[in-house]
Copies of this chain bind each other. A is one copy, B any other.
Amino acid sequence: MTNREFLTEYVSAFTHSLVQSGVKKAVISPGSRSTPLAYAFMKQQGIETYRQIDERSAGFYALGLAKASNSPVVLVCTSGTAAANYFPAIVEAFYARVPLLVVTADRPHELREVGAPQAINQINLFGSHVKWSADLPLPEQSNRLEFLKRHLSRAAAMAETAPKGPVHLNVPFREPLGIDFNQQYESEGELYRFESSQQLTDEAAAFLQEVFSQSRGLLIAGENTAQVSTRQWEFIRRLGWPVLADPLSNLRSNVPEDLKGMIIDSYDALLKSEKFADSMVPEAVVRIGPQPVSKPLSLFLMKTRPARYVVIDESPLLRDPQSAVTHHIQQHSAVLWEMSLAAKSPSPYLEKWTKAGELMRETMSAHCQQELDEGVLAKAFFDELDGCDLTVSSSMPIRDADTYFQVTQRDVGIYANRGANGIDGVVSTAFGIQAANKRPGYLLIGDLALLHDMNGLLASKLQAADMTVVVMNNDGGGIFSYLPQSKEERYYEELFGTPTGIQFKAAAELYDAEYFSAETVEELQAALRTPKEKAVRIIEVATDRANNVTVHRKLWSRLDEGLSTWS
């Protein structure tokens, strides 16, 4: 594709996605940098265009259009002070709660703040008077249009979500700015967003009924901090689909006996096997909560690109880093539990998932008897827990929870910071959770994250606390050993491994905590079973980064072997 062809494709996808999102009107002001968008809007079927020379007037004109038509109206202008002229109308729209999609063309990064004409800083130009703003990537062949389409849907959804208001999209273009008017745009892979309303609309309900009637369906459950209700368990029972449950979904604990086979806790391991993944392609996927932590699952969804990948999420800002979601129902996931579904007999698809889950359990069991590494120790730790809350750090602990925390009837709440996935503040978060839930708290954390928020332990000096910290001390950044960087030896230890040689016995003393060290499963169990006397107990488990990688990989190859006869 030539650059001109790609630019044409980009702006066509731009306007087409807005039509898909329910946009019907656009007000265009003249200018050079906005040329590709102006052309595309003129050409786009389903969008009525209006012209206004003065952007300030254009802004208030669009406000009137949006007020009267009760749907979001697009504004398009060129770069520079043109955009600033929208400001009065944007402020009015913000307080009057009128949905506007303000699209400002911009110069590319290399022309910003260097004295180029009509180049001003347009990032966050309208400050706190827009509900959301985004700086879009340049239309370059390497950019994925899927992202663009979904981002425009996000913008429209944000403008239309109560309280409605203006949203700003800044769109840089490089010259030349001409497009090919004859180039056809084949719309595909776009997101369908159901009309937002207080309750599930009839359209959305009918759609979901049809989706849930599929026999090769997957329910994917991401993080959820609300208590799992009996109605949710009942919904899962009637749905009869395998449930791929992220450790943070809290669907792996308190699991009713009859549902144990339906809750799949080993999809991360299973989907690493190409053979298995290829045989389990779903017809429909419904996700509640954010994207699970499992990378194999993300890759599986990206590769299979299910025709219906539905997300139930009350936020207009759809969580979809792979741009693979096809339908967004902007509702709280609890609307599902109210749906009346006819109970189905178990499908062969579910039976295969259940069987694979059992295979993984057996493989894991054998593996843990023969090996010793961070994962094996993590499993021994998880198996001890009941009537408590577990916080897992970002980096390796959340991944070890994914692999080694197995479905159980025991009562364990699982928490992690997955909003931004940082390793900072984990100790403090765990203490906050413990203080709110008022039952024993457990924390699984690596040495770097514990060091990072070691002051979090002070919480125990200032408030009542009951915390057991299990620190996997592999002397540095263990997760990097699993990443491509680990193959480059130069600067590896300085930049990624960052060994500190820190031992936490002294930290325990510093913060007046009980201290245990454990190198074996038995030592770890003994430490966990010792009656706790102080507010904080630190159990330091010394592990080895290289060995962890080897043994983790051994588990995958053992499972792969078990799946060799899979069909």
Contact = CB atoms under 8 A, between A and B. Distances in A.
Contact of A506 (B90, B94, B458, B507): B507
Interface in A478-530: 494, 498, 500-512
A88 B91 contact: no
A448 B498 CA distance: 27
A458 B462 contact: no
A395 to B, nearest CB: 17
A455 B454 contact: yes
Contacts of A31: none
Quick one: copies of this chain in the complex?
A: 2
Determine which residue in A88, A95, A507 has the highest number of CB atoms from chain B within 10 A of its CB, and name it.
A88
B462 A451 contact: no
A231 interface: no
Contacts of A458: 451, 500
A512 B503 CA distance: 10
Contacts of A508: 506
Interface residues of A, number: 42
A125 interface: yes
Interface stretch (A79-87, A199-207, A281-289, A329-337): A79-87
A129 B126 CA distance: 11
Contacts of A127: 124-127
A173 B504 CA distance: 58
A56 to B, nearest CB: 7
Nearest to A502: B510
Interface of chain A, main secondary structure: helix
Contact of A498 (B95, B121, B462, B512): B462
B512 A509 contact: no
A544 interface: no
Contacts of A505: 509
Contacts of A554: none
A92 interface: yes
A81 B85 contact: no
A115 to B, nearest CB: 8
A79 to B, nearest CB: 11
Contact of A509 (B90, B92, B125, B506): B506
A287 to B, nearest CB: 36
Given A56-B56, A507-B510, A510-B503, A84 B81 contact: no
Contact of A452 (B80, B84, B121, B455): B455
Contact of A512 (B452, B461, B501): B501
A508 B509 CA distance: 11
Interface string A123-145: 01111110000000000000000
20 contacts: A80-B91, A84-B88, A84-B91, A95-B120, A124-B127, A451-B455, A454-B454, A461-B500, A461-B502, A462-B498, A462-B500, A501-B512, A502-B510, A503-B510, A505-B509, A506-B507, A506-B508, A507-B510, A509-B509, A510-B510
Given A81-B91, A458-B500, 10 more contacts: A56-B56, A81-B92, A121-B128, A124-B128, A125-B127, A126-B127, A461-B500, A501-B512, A502-B511, A506-B509
The 6 closest A-B pairs by CB, nearest first: A506-B509, A506-B510, A506-B506, A87-B87, A84-B88, A81-B88
